[in-house]
């Protein structure tokens, strides 16, 4: 029924897409509204969501059963109306325990909601089973612990699941579990001796994967579906993909668990059924609406503290939409439009985290539709497909977490949160001591000769400090991923990835704009350190003007470009677990607020405790030449030095984009074309009114679905803490004079 190709001989979904996809050049006029069934189901979801909010953010917790692929019986929203079935537990929004990341976290999360983990589970995980968290802390060095506690390294996935790995969920629809098991068994036969550590580990991993595929088949059976065979209709294709994803989020509670790039794949089945008259457009939209509805209902059990780094209870079900094929055709399909249409049919939402793979050669109709969706919902983000394709050599990739390239089914990624570069700069100024506590952190940093800062001297110390921080960071990452593989291996996701894939090690850095502005101040103005009796910097006196990052001014932008390049180079020199390739991101998620709290005054004039700018954004209020100059500054950071992604958030009031919708769409398309043709990597687009956000702070109940984008992902504004809300509002809304 489909065009033949290598996909029939080997597990090769890309080939199937290449041979069968129908690129669509038109506009969105064919799209349908939500059906009555969909509306009915969504209403039930909205009610559950509002109960959840009223109940301190958690509707229910299963404190008896440890979550796994087949741990729970079937769950429904309202079975007779559901075209796509499957919930994580037997009840909508009820959260499940996944203690393999760490039992203490699960106990805490339960207690925060007035529950105790059942005695049986407590007994097992405290007395018999070992967790990822146990493993990591058995091995952590005193140095790593110190870096963690002082906030030089934060958000490390050492007490929660690392996530980021994307299973190729399309494989289950295309091949069925039987064929996938067969292929893995064949791989296993090839994994012969000598039985080195690596080889033994890999054999064990593949064995786990095979078991997981068997369990996935069982999960199908729980819902009366036969996943052992390929999907045979559009409805089955969507259902098979969803159940595979569901199996992953039943087994794991990774910080970010992306969906991949399923829309152009699913479109092939849609087109097929539509051509044969088996379904109509209304039904096709219903399938996608109901699929997306289910993705919006994914929940993980988290402690409140987790919210500080990853605000708003995100799950990062990131779906990459659009982009081009290596043969020059684009991958925009009608189902790309259908995914975006869910933001109208079900209203705006942070999840799934829809990411447009933007190429200047995408069809105009699609570009304008995306712009319109951004203006209406602020729920989508954009990444540079031209840049990623030519740098990473693949046209079949998804976005892991917020902004990171990941070739689907061929590569995976080890997530590593981030380090604080602004604080690292302060270590360089304080002889290696922490500016907040006075503790000696680094031992090889000379005291500065003069308190009137000299760029050469500061840079020389800063380089030493970056090297030391990089070394400790690398140690922590190797330990974390070794232990995660050992105690909390992602067996289902890895079953949907080639055996022994390429691994990227995803480091991250925060505080880049502060570092750039600080170095600019030191170079172009006079900066004098103010120290306390212990000799620790408490403030900086600045005399004279200096250019700030965000004004398209090379005198300072050069620092924003060179620092990540240098740090990345340092990281690349260090040995990695599983020979992973180091990559760096300039990304903060919402942790820019926490970072600010943990960082003393900096030489750019930022006071102690003030929030960082998110991701690679310039500090707010310092970009004085308007939004595009700010974008141009960020575009100068070289993607090759930060292959894990360079996140930029662009917030603008609708009026500033133009007088009417037509102009706004046109201008937003021009902005994106311009930004990405400058080889920029990522852009979050918020089109919002300040008044609306202020009102939403006071009356959250009126804005249950208000979505805003923050550094690589979208969140429900009303689920942010008050400090985070204030930070978002204070940050530059670009309003022209």
Binding site for other proteins (CB under 8 A): 552, 624-632, 656-660, 663, 666-667, 669-671, 673-675, 677-678, 734, 736-737
| Spatial separation of the C-alpha atoms in residues 681 and 643, rounded to whole Å | 9
| Spatial separation of the C-alpha atoms in residues 545 and 520, rounded to whole Å | 10
Smallest gap from residue 219 Cβ to other proteins (A): 49
Nearer to other proteins, 187 or 552 (CB): 552
Residue with tokens 């990835």: 497
607: left (phi over 0), alpha (psi -120 to 50) or beta: beta
Nearer to other proteins, 296 or 731 (CB): 731
Handedness of CA 569, 570, 574, 580 (dihedral sign): negative
The secondary structure of residue 581, as a DSSP letter, is: E
**Count of Cβ atoms closer than 10 Å to residue 501 Cβ:** 17
HEC profile for 588-632?
Answer: CCCCHHHHHHCCCCCCCCCCCCCCCCCCCCCCCCCCCCCHHHHHH
Nearer to other proteins, 50 or 670 (CB): 670
Smallest gap from residue 636 Cβ to other proteins (A): 10
The secondary structure of residue 446, as a DSSP letter, is: P
Active site residue 390: no
Nearer to other proteins, 460 or 667 (CB): 667
| Spatial separation of the C-alpha atoms in residues 54 and 332, rounded to whole Å | 40
Smallest gap from residue 556 Cβ to other proteins (A): 15
Q: Report helix angle 455-487 to 554-572, nearest 10.
A: 40
SS3 of 540, please? strand
| Spatial separation of the C-alpha atoms in residues 440 and 435, rounded to whole Å | 10
Bond into 352 cis (ω within 30) = yes
Smallest gap from residue 538 Cβ to other proteins (A): 31
Smallest gap from residue 551 Cβ to other proteins (A): 9
Smallest gap from residue 557 Cβ to other proteins (A): 11
- Contacts for 573-577: CB closer than 8 Å, 24+ residues apart: 574/470, 574/471, 574/474, 575/474, 575/478, 576/474, 576/477, 576/478, 576/505, 577/414, 577/477, 577/478, 577/481, 577/482, 577/505
Helices (H) and strands (E) in the chain, counts: 26, 19
State the Cα torsion 571-574-578-581 to the nearest 10°.
30
Handedness of CA 146, 151, 153, 158 (dihedral sign): positive
| Spatial separation of the C-alpha atoms in residues 719 and 311, rounded to whole Å | 8
Backbone φ and ψ for 470, nearest 5 degrees, come out as: -60, -40
Smallest gap from residue 358 Cβ to other proteins (A): 13
Smallest gap from residue 731 Cβ to other proteins (A): 16
Nearer to other proteins, 40 or 624 (CB): 624
Smallest gap from residue 727 Cβ to other proteins (A): 23
Candidates 273, 282, 269; CA nearest to 239 is 269
Candidates 26, 151, 131; CA nearest to 436 is 151
Tokens of 180: 């996938």
Smallest gap from residue 629 Cβ to other proteins (A): 4
Nearer to other proteins, 248 or 669 (CB): 669
Nearer to other proteins, 9 or 736 (CB): 736
Let me know how long the chain is: 737
Bridge-partner residues for 387, per DSSP?
none
Nearer to other proteins, 91 or 656 (CB): 656
Q: State the number of CA atoms in the 13 A half-sphere of 397 facing the CB.
A: 29
SS3 of 407, please? strand
Nearer to other proteins, 6 or 677 (CB): 677
The residue annotated as part of the active site, out of 110, 370, 402, 434, is 402
Nearer to other proteins, 475 or 552 (CB): 552
Active site residue 402: yes
Residue with tokens 């090839």: 190
Nearer to other proteins, 126 or 360 (CB): 360
The residue annotated as part of the active site, out of 32, 110, 370, 401, is 401
Smallest gap from residue 561 Cβ to other proteins (A): 15
- 142: exposed, middle or buried (C-beta count within 10 Å: 0-12, 13-18, 19+)? exposed
Smallest gap from residue 368 Cβ to other proteins (A): 12
Nearer to other proteins, 418 or 664 (CB): 664
**DSSP output for 267-279:** HHHHHHHHHTTSS
**DSSP output for 554-578:** HHHHHHHHHHHHHHHHHHHTS--GG
| Spatial separation of the C-alpha atoms in residues 320 and 337, rounded to whole Å | 12
Catalytic residue numbers?
Answer: 401-402
């Amino acid at each position: 029924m489909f065009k033949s190709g290598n996909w029939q001989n080997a597990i090769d979904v890309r080939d199937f897409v290449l041979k069968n996809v129908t690129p669509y050049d038109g506009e969105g006029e064919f799209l349908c509204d939500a059906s009555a069934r969909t509306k009915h189901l969504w209403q039930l979801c909205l009610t559950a969501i509002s109960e959840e909010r009223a109940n301190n953010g958690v509707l229910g917790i299963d404190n008896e059963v440890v979550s796994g692929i087949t741990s729970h019986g079937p769950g429904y929203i309202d079975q007779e109306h559901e075209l796509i079935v499957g919930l994580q537990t037997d009840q909508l929004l009820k959260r499940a325990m996944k203690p393999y990341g760490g039992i203490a976290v699960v106990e805490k999360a339960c207690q925060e909601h007035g529950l105790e983990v059942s005695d049986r589970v407590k007994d097992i995980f405290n007395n018999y089973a070992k967790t990822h968290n146990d493993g990591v802390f058995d091995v952590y060095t005193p140095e790593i612990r110190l870096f963690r506690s002082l906030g030089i390294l934060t958000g490390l996935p050492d007490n929660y699941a690392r996530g980021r790995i994307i299973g190729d969920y399309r494989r289950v629809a295309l091949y069925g579990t039987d064929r996938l098991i067969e292929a893995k068994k064949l791989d296993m036969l090839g994994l012969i001796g000598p039985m080195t550590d690596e080889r033994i580990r890999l054999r064990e991993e593949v064995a786990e994967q095979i078991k997981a595929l068997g369990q996935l088949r069982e999960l199908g059976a729980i819902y009366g579906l036969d996943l052992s065979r390929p999907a045979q209709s559009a409805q089955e294709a969507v259902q098979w993909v969803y159940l595979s994803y569901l199996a992953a989020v039943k087994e794991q509670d990774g910080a970010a668990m992306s969906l991949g790039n399923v829309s152009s794949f699913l479109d092939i089945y849609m087109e097929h059924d539509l051509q044969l008259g088996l379904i109509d457009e209304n039904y096709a939209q219903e399938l996608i609406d109901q699929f997306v509805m289910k993705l919006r209902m994914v929940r993980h059990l988290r402690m409140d503290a987790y919210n500080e780094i990853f605000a708003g209870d995100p799950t990062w079900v990131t779906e990459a939409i659009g982009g081009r094929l290596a043969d020059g055709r684009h991958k925009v399909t009608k189902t790309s439009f259908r995914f975006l249409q869910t933001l109208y049919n079900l209203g705006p939402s942070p999840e799934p985290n829809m990411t447009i793979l933007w190429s200047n050669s995408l069809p105009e109709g699609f570009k304008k539709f995306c712009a319109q969706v951004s203006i209406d919902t602020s729920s989508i983000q954009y990444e540079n497909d031209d840049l990623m394709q030519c740098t990473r050599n693949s046209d079949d990739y998804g976005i892991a977490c917020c902004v990171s390239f990941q070739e689907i089914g061929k590569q995976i990624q080890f997530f590593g949160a981030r380090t604080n570069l602004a604080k690292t700069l302060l270590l360089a100024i304080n002889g290696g001591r922490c500016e907040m506590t006075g503790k000696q952190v680094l031992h090889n940093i000379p005291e500065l000769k003069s308190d009137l800062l000299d760029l050469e001297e500061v840079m020389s110390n800063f380089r030493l400090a970056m090297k030391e921080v990089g070394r400790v960071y690398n140690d922590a990452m190797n330990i974390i991923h070794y232990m995660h593989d050992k105690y909390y291996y992602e067996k289902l996701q890895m079953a949907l990835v080639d055996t022994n894939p390429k691994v990227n090690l995803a480091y991250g850095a925060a505080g880049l704009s502060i570092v750039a502005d600080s170095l600019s101040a030191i170079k172009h103005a006079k900066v004098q350190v103010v120290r306390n009796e212990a000799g620790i910097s408490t403030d900086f006196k600045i005399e004279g003007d200096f250019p700030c990052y965000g004004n398209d001014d090379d005198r300072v932008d050069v620092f924003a470009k060179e620092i990540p390049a240098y740090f990345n180079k340092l990281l690349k020199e260090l040995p990695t677990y599983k020979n992973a390739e180091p990559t760096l991101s300039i990304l903060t998620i919402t942790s820019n607020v926490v970072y600010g709290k943990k960082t003393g005054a900096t030489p750019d004039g930022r006071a102690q405790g003030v929030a960082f700018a998110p991701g690679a954004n310039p500090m707010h209020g310092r970009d004085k030449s308007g939004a595009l100059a700010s974008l141009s500054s960020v575009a100068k950071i070289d993607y090759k030095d930060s292959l894990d992604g360079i996140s930029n958030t662009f917030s603008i009031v609708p009026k500033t984009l133009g007088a009417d919708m037509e102009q706004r769409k046109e201008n937003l398309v021009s902005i994106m074309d311009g930004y990405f043709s400058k080889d920029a990597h990522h852009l979050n687009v918020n089109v919002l009114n300040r008044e609306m956000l202020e009102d939403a702070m006071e009356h959250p109940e009126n804005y249950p679905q208000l979505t805003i984008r923050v550094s690589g992902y979208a969140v429900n504004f009303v689920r942010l803490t008050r400090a985070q809300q204030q930070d978002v509002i204070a940050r530059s809304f670009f309003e022209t004079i």
